[in-house]
């Protein structure tokens, strides 16, 4: 074992330990904020694994998207729903926990056996890649062109859907009321949606 | 490299119908953005025209010489054409029935149409994808659009609940499907095309990895077609979601799931055909029994149709598991007929709930006295779903069971017959409720039934949809010869898994596949084709 392989093995072991520890913490801890932060740890360890696999762009994207966007969004959601509520303990909770643990261990055993048993096809001489970005780009504009373009429609639709779900149409006052007590934003009366086409009058747009 | 060259090299004409759907989607979205709510008067018709144009483009694409397009991502063979046609037609009928519904619930029609059209787009692409990345992206387009439409009635708590349940279970099933796909990628030595996977796993066909990936992929697909162990989302989502969305999910989404199942299983898993046949047989048996038995106990019409659609998926799976040519043809034929009869039933339910605001089965009592047309249409559609002789559904089931009997699947066919009898019971129950009741036994809802009027906005399309599905359901069985010819011609090039294991010439570098025939057709593009390939291989 030369130096490079040794470094690789040790960093793999460290990353794996980090990831498994953080993942267990996500599942087992009671405080949801700790779980959310530990989830960020899981994502970062995964991006480290990607680096070990020579996938530098994927690793950067993993940090940007999962840690930077998804995890922050989860934290925001937790902090916005800042509601302390003590849940009454479910009777016989250990049965459910035991069942979940049993299923997880069984699944792990099955998948582990599979990974060990399967003769994986490993290409013998992989060419050394200097920049994965160029290869990714080539794939995006050749054999993965159609999924790449379809993803744009998917994103457009998701955007429209998100706007539809999140939109609230408030009644706005005509004149600005200076000096009055401002209403709480969540108690603004929502404008009733009048079906324009039903009433027959072609009212102007929203 | 100019655009025409590039397009012909990619064989971009194969996705012309999808291109039309995308343009329609953009037109609807932009018109809604610019004109505002006044555009609601005509955007549905733009969408319908676009979808019909897409169906026309599908017709023009029949018997293409070169079906593989986009370097193996998409295959526009005749089988996919029929599936895409089913999906586009289902969306047309869905739009007809949803205009009034969406207006009456006070939601936005433009955004609804946009999301519905993108769901259609995902389903259409799913029917022809032959490559894992493409399959996953189109599957997600369909799924995410379905979640959004399920939760479209924002102020309805049941709609919110249904959307959340659908999202969580759907995300889990997508993850399972993705895990199975990634295993396949690894097992085949880094190939994402289905044919390449089949070649890659041909030697290690009995290994544990292949079996686990098979099970995971089937789990993902079964969620889409709501086969029984993966059906738990169906009743809740069907009850809570807006009714036109339920109609879309029960026909178009299911058809896309079956298209994916046929393509994935026959192309990628010919070496383990016994195993997947066994799994799908089990799913079919469970679906037929549970779907049809539980449907008896339902009191809500939508829930009853939810369980009945699970049972119907079980019948369709008979045609799929026997794996003969007539099996596939009967499956397609049944899906085509199921489109009209199921959407017809949903149109009737929507009409009834728009007029009365309920969908309890007991509220239908005595409807015949007040609304003969609705009673006739609903009775015909339900009887056809049950398989009563002169109607279309009878011929569909007859063909399915005949194909199963020919292939020697006696147990499945007998079980199908028995559960059909059970299903006739609960369909007839509704018909009896509507027709036989004396005037004094009428439900309160029917006593207050509003006067019939087709004048208000959006009622006319509903009426058109009702009449259209009614006529098709009544006549498609008797005049079914064109449909038979269509489905028989379309399954001619499905790879049958009794054939030898390498279905297609296995291409280690799948990028090369379309290059040779294309350069023969378009000589001047040959140098570009070669440079493209060289670049990709480097």
What CA–CA distance (Å, rounded) separates B147 from B164? 8
What CA–CA distance (Å, rounded) separates B341 from B462? 15
ipTM entry: 0.86
Give the residue from B244, B193, B197, B251 showing the smallest Cα distance to B224.
B251
Q: From the candidates A114, A160, A194, which should be mutated to test the interface with B, based on the most B CB atoms within 10 A?
A: A160
Find the closest chain A residue to B143 by CA distance.
A154
Q: Is A200 among the domain residues?
A: no
Same domain, A78 and A137: no
pLDDT reported for residue A175? 43
> What's the predicted TM-score (pTM) here?
0.87
CB A170 within 8 A of CB A191: yes
DSSP state of B75: E
**Which of chain B's residues have a Cβ under 8 Å away from the Cβ of A110?**
212
More confident residue, A122 or B131: B131
pLDDT reported for residue B496? 63
CB contact residues (below 8 A), chain A span 131-190, against chain B = 138-139, 142-147, 150-151, 153-154, 156-158, 160-161, 163-165
Locate the domains of chain B by residue range.
12-529
Owning domain of residue A144? 131-178
CB-nearest to A150 from B106, B138, B208 is B138
Q: Dump pLDDT digits (tens) for A98-107.
A: 999 999 999 9
Same domain, A78 and A136: no
Same domain, A78 and A13: yes
Q: What does pLDDT average to in each consecutive run of 10 residues of chain B (538 residues)? A: 80 92 96 89 94 95 87 90 95 94 87 95 95 95 95 87 94 95 89 90 81 94 91 91 94 94 92 90 94 92 93 94 90 94 94 89 88 92 91 92 92 94 93 83 82 84 93 88 88 62 37 38 39 40
Taking the CA of residue A178 and the nearest CA in chain B, the distance in Å comes to: 32
Residue with tokens 């023969």: B520
Show the DSSP H helices in B323-363 as ranges: 325-356
Q: Is A102 among the domain residues?
A: no
Q: Is A125 among the domain residues?
A: no
Residue B25: is it exposed, middle or buried by C-beta count within 10 angstroms (0-12/13-18/19+)?
buried
What CA–CA distance (Å, rounded) separates B177 from B325? 27
What CA–CA distance (Å, rounded) separates B273 from B286? 20
Q: Is A166 among the domain residues?
A: yes
The domain tally of chain A equals: 2
- Number of inter-chain CB pairs under 8 A, A vs B: 148
CB B242 within 8 A of CB B105: yes
Q: Does A197 touch chain B (CB under 8 A)?
A: yes
pLDDT reported for residue B534? 38
Give the residue from B69, B80, B95, B93 showing the smallest Cα distance to B11.
B69
* Tokens standing for residue B160: 């919110």
Q: Does A203 touch chain B (CB under 8 A)?
A: yes
Q: Dump pLDDT digits (tens) for A130-174.
A: 788 898 999 898 889 999 999 999 999 999 999 998 887 655 444
Q: Is A75 among the domain residues?
A: yes
Q: Helices B301-322 and B325-356 sit at what angle, rounded to 10 degrees?
A: 170
Q: Is A17 among the domain residues?
A: yes
What CA–CA distance (Å, rounded) separates B488 from B333? 9
Q: What is the CATH number of the domain that holds A73?
A: 1.20.120.1200
Q: Is the pLDDT of residue A176 over 80?
A: no
Q: Mean pLDDT for chain A?
A: 82
Q: Is A202 among the domain residues?
A: no
């Amino acid at each position: 074992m030369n130096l490079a392989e040794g470094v690789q093995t040790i960093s793999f072991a460290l990353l794996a330990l980090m990831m498994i520890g953080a993942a267990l913490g996500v599942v087992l801890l009671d405080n949801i904020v700790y779980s959310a932060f530990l989830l960020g740890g899981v994502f970062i360890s995964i991006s480290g694994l990607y680096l070990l696999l020579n996938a530098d762009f994927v690793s950067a994207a993993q940090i940007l998207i999962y840690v930077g966007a998804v995890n922050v969004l989860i934290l925001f959601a937790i902090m916005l729903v800042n509601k302390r509520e003590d849940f009454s303990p479910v009777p016989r909770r250990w049965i459910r926990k035991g069942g979940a643990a049993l299923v997880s261990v069984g699944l792990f055993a099955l998948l582990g056996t599979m990974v060990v048993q399967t003769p994986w096809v490993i290409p013998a001489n992989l060419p050394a890649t200097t920049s994965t970005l160029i290869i990714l780009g080539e794939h995006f504009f050749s054999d993965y062109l159609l999924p790449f373009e379809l993803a744009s429609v998917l994103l457009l639709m998701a955007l429209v859907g998100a706007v539809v779900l999140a939109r609230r149409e408030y009644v706005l006052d005509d004149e600005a009321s200076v000096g009055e007590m401002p209403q709480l934003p969540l108690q603004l009366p929502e404008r009733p949606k009048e079906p324009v086409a039903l009433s027959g009058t072609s009212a102007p747009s929203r | 490299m100019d655009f025409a060259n590039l397009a012909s090299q990619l064989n971009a004409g194969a996705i012309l119908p999808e291109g039309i759907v995308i343009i329609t989607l953009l037109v609807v979205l932009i018109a809604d953005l610019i004109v505002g709510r006044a555009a609601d008067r005509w955007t549905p018709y733009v969408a319908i025209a676009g979808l019909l144009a897409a169906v026309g483009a599908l017709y023009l694409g029949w018997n293409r010489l070169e079906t593989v397009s986009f370097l193996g991502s998409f295959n526009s063979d005749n089988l996919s054409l029929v599936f895409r046609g089913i999906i586009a037609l289902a969306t047309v009928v869905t739009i007809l029935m949803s205009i009034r519904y969406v207006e009456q619930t006070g939601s936005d029609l433009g955004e609804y149409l946009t999301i519905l059209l993108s769901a259609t787009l995902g389903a259409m692409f799913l029917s022809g994808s032959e490559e894992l990345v493409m399959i996953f992206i189109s599957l997600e387009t369909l799924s995410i659009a379905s979640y959004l439409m399920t939760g479209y009635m924002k102020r309805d708590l049941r709609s919110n609940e249904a959307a959340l349940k659908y999202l969580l279970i759907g995300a889990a099933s997508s993850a399972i499907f993705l895990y199975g796909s990634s295993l396949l990628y690894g097992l085949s030595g880094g190939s994402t095309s289905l044919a390449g996977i089949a070649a890659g796993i041909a030697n290690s066909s009995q290994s544990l990895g292949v079996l686990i990936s098979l099970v995971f992929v089937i789990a993902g697909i079964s969620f889409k077609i709501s086969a029984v162990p993966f059906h738990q989302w169906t009743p809740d989502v069907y009850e809570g979601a807006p009714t036109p969305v339920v109609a879309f999910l029960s026909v178009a989404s299911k058809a896309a799931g079956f298209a994916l199942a046929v393509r994935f299983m026959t192309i990628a898993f010919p070496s383990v055909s016994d195993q997947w046949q066994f799994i799908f047989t089990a799913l079919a048996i469970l679906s037929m029994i549970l779907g049809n038995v539980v449907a008896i106990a339902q009191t809500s019409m939508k829930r009853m149709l939810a369980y009945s659609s699970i049972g119907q998926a079980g019948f369709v799976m008979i045609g799929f598991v026997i794996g003969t040519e007539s099996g596939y043809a009967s499956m397609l034929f049944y899906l085509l007929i199921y489109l009209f009869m199921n959407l017809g039933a949903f149109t009737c339910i929507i009409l009834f709930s728009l007029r009365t605001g309920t969908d309890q089965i007991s509220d239908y009592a005595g409807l015949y006295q007040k609304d003969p047309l609705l009673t006739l249409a609903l009775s015909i559609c339900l009887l056809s779903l049950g398989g009563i002789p002169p109607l279309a559904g009878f011929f569909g089931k007859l063909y399915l069971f005949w194909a199963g009997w020919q292939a020697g699947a006696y147990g499945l066919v007998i079980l199908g017959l028995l559960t059909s009898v059970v299903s006739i019971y609960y369909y007839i129950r509704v018909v009896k409720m509507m027709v036989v009741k004396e005037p004094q036994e009428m439900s309160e809802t029917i006593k207050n039934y509003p006067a019939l009027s087709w004048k208000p906005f959006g009622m006319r399309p509903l009426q058109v949809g009702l009449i259209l599905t009614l006529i098709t359901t009544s006549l498609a069985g008797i005049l079914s010869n064109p449909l038979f010819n269509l489905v028989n011609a379309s399954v001619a090039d499905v790879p049958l898994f009794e054939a030898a294991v390498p279905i297609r010439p296995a291409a280690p570098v799948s990028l090369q596949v379309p290059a040779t025939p294309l350069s023969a057709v378009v000589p001047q593009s040959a140098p570009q084709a070669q440079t493209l390939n060289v670049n990709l291989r480097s």
